[in-house]
Structure 1
Amino acid sequence: MTLKATAIDVEINSAKLLHNVSLELTPGKLLGVLGPNGAGKSTLLKVLSGDLAPSGGTVTLDDIPLHNWQSIDLAKRRAVMPQASQLAFPFSARDVVSMGRWPYEKLCSPFINRLAVEKAMILADVKHLADRLYPVLSGGEKQRVQLARALTQSIGLTDDTETKCLLLDEPTAGLDIAHQHAVLAAARKQCKERNTAGLAILHDLNQAAQYCDSIAIISNGTLISNGPTLEVMKPELLSDIFSCTISRSLNVASETPVFLSSI
């Protein structure tokens, strides 16, 4: 069992942000969420994480409504990386990553917790930033530190059999090209190696096609399509959703699709 949204509606101040959206995360798989600005992608992530209660429908984790979970138990099962995280206190990057181990502080030995932090920092390529103060890091460096925090939280316990969920809201925003790939590769590796159910809101079609096992497309608060990546990412549909001409070809060397867009 894992994280599931059924017939989700979100209405705030008479504005309908989501309408009848149903979605389920799959253990071991990374789901990419695509859609134009204002489509409702971040709203969906907030609902799935438990940060926003839906106006209608249900969100369940292991068939238990999300609002019935205690915060400490929910923190053991899902980790969230928001678009931006404000932190003014002079914590080091390692301190921020270590915050992801809070749910396991009394369940794991200090050695296991430190090991999880080190592994996550290596995955997110922030080991060299460990002793730097978080507030003085660049925007891209902060993004990677926050990814490491989410990764170390979703690592969980040694020999843990419960599926973890990793929710990433635009994790590549503000990153250079190399680190965009590194972040998505780290997220996918976490899903594959630890049977984590992942979701990432993305804007780059080529990166979505390269790293995501499945794709959900949202437009005007409605789920337009959801399924295996290449079945969903059809040029005709993408062109309609993003209001531009999108074509698809094949990169022979990597055997991955390449998307080109034009007005």
Structure 2
Amino acid sequence: MQKEAHVTLKATAIDIEISSVKLLQNVSIELTPGKLLGVLGPNGAGKSTLLKVLSGDLTPTNGTITLDDIPLHKWASIELAKRRAVMPQASQLAFPFSARDVVSMGRWPFEKLCTPFINRLAVEKAMSLADIKHLADRPYPVLSGGEKQRVQLARALTQSIGLTGDTETKFLLLDEPTAGLDIAHQHAVLAAAKKQCKERNTAGLAILHDLNQAAQYCDSIAIISNGTLISNGPTLEVMEPELLSDIFSCSISRSIDSASSTPVFISTI
């Protein structure tokens, strides 16, 4: 009997060294279908570098990245695009495409596999999740930074929707998806990512800076500092005040909100 492939995106003993600078050292991490993993750490810790390695944009100096037990570099670009969607920190686009056009770019891997009607439905669903339907016809270059962030989220969401009745696990990689957003839209973005993971069995990763949002939306947490994976596991187990205080070089305390039973973190210098 043929062994069934392990459905996951996995980094094993990853090192990244550029110009003699070690950006990641012996990092191993695995994304779980149906769950959202939050990556925390101070500036320059290596969080975005890890995302670039997992997405295939950066080749590790040592170690392996596998998707379904197959090395990432062996995947054809079109097949990889069908399985993983990436939202980078910033996306430059000078041409006057509408917001809807940009979101529709996420359907490129499935363009010939779906009817135009199905592709339009996926785009509309993603725009609704990201709360940008009112921006659909506006030129992308004139949008605010926060609006562009939400358009890029919708593009990634529509790509990770895949096909109707699709059973292949998708992977959603978000690099600081809440940067530049007001508070309401920060919550809307993370709620949309969480919903995508839960309802479509998507494996998600989000680089975050807000401890309270990470605790509220993430199923598990990975903490990176100085290029090293310090801790990785269930959210409440990892987000211990003593560890967080040490990592972020400030005093961090934790309490529990009585109404929602959600942890609340307070930091002071």
TM above 0.5: yes
Alignment of 1:81-96 (within 5 A): 81-96=87-102
TM-score normalised per structure 1: 1.00
CA distance in 1, matches of 2:11, 2:230: 15
Within the candidate set 215, 219, 228, 1:213 is matched to 219
Match for residue 36 of structure 2?
30
CA distance in 2, matches of 1:119, 1:80: 18
Q: Do structure 1's residue 103 and structure 2's residue 106 form an aligned pair?
A: no
Q: Secondary structure at the match of 2:177?
A: coil
Within the candidate set 165, 172, 191, 1:166 is matched to 172
Q: Do structure 1's residue 62 and structure 2's residue 95 form an aligned pair?
A: no
Per-residue deviation at 1:63?
A: 0.2
CA distance in 2, matches of 1:186, 1:160: 19
CA distance in 1, matches of 2:217, 2:262: 10
Q: Secondary structure at the match of 2:131?
A: coil
Q: Do structure 1's residue 235 and structure 2's residue 241 form an aligned pair?
A: yes
Match for residue 139 of structure 2?
133
Match for residue 17 of structure 1?
23
Per-residue deviation at 1:88?
A: 0.3
Match for residue 4 of structure 2?
none
Q: Secondary structure at the match of 1:54?
A: coil
Per-residue deviation at 1:2?
A: 1.1
CA distance in 1, matches of 2:22, 2:174: 23
CA distance in 2, matches of 1:65, 1:95: 32
Q: Do structure 1's residue 157 and structure 2's residue 172 form an aligned pair?
A: no
Residue identity (%): 89
The one-letter code matched in structure 1 to 2:151 is V
Per-residue deviation at 1:171?
A: 0.1
CA distance in 1, matches of 2:164, 2:201: 13
Match for residue 47 of structure 2?
41
Within the candidate set 53, 56, 68, 1:50 is matched to 56
Q: State how many pairs are aligned.
A: 263
The one-letter code matched in structure 1 to 2:104 is S
The one-letter code matched in structure 1 to 2:56 is G
CA distance in 1, matches of 2:52, 2:158: 20
The one-letter code matched in structure 1 to 2:69 is D
Per-residue deviation at 1:34?
A: 0.1
Q: Do structure 1's residue 186 and structure 2's residue 204 form an aligned pair?
A: no
Partner deviation per Cα, 1:8-51 (whole Å, 9 max, x = no partner): 00000000000000000000000000000000000000000000
Q: Secondary structure at the match of 2:151?
A: helix
The one-letter code matched in structure 2 to 1:35 is G
The one-letter code matched in structure 2 to 1:233 is M
Per-residue deviation at 1:60?
A: 0.2
The one-letter code matched in structure 2 to 1:215 is I
CA distance in 1, matches of 2:111, 2:205: 26
Per-residue deviation at 1:262?
A: 0.4
CA distance in 1, matches of 2:177, 2:114: 28
Match for residue 10 of structure 2?
4
Q: Secondary structure at the match of 1:162?
A: coil
Q: Secondary structure at the match of 1:200?
A: strand
Q: Which runs of 5+ in 1 are unaligned?
A: none
Give the ranges of 4+ consecutive aligned residues of structure 1 lying more than 6 Å apart after TM superposition: none
The one-letter code matched in structure 2 to 1:56 is N
Match for residue 200 of structure 1?
206
Q: Secondary structure at the match of 1:253?
A: coil
TM-score normalised per structure 2: 0.98
CA distance in 1, matches of 2:96, 2:45: 36
Q: Secondary structure at the match of 1:167?
A: strand
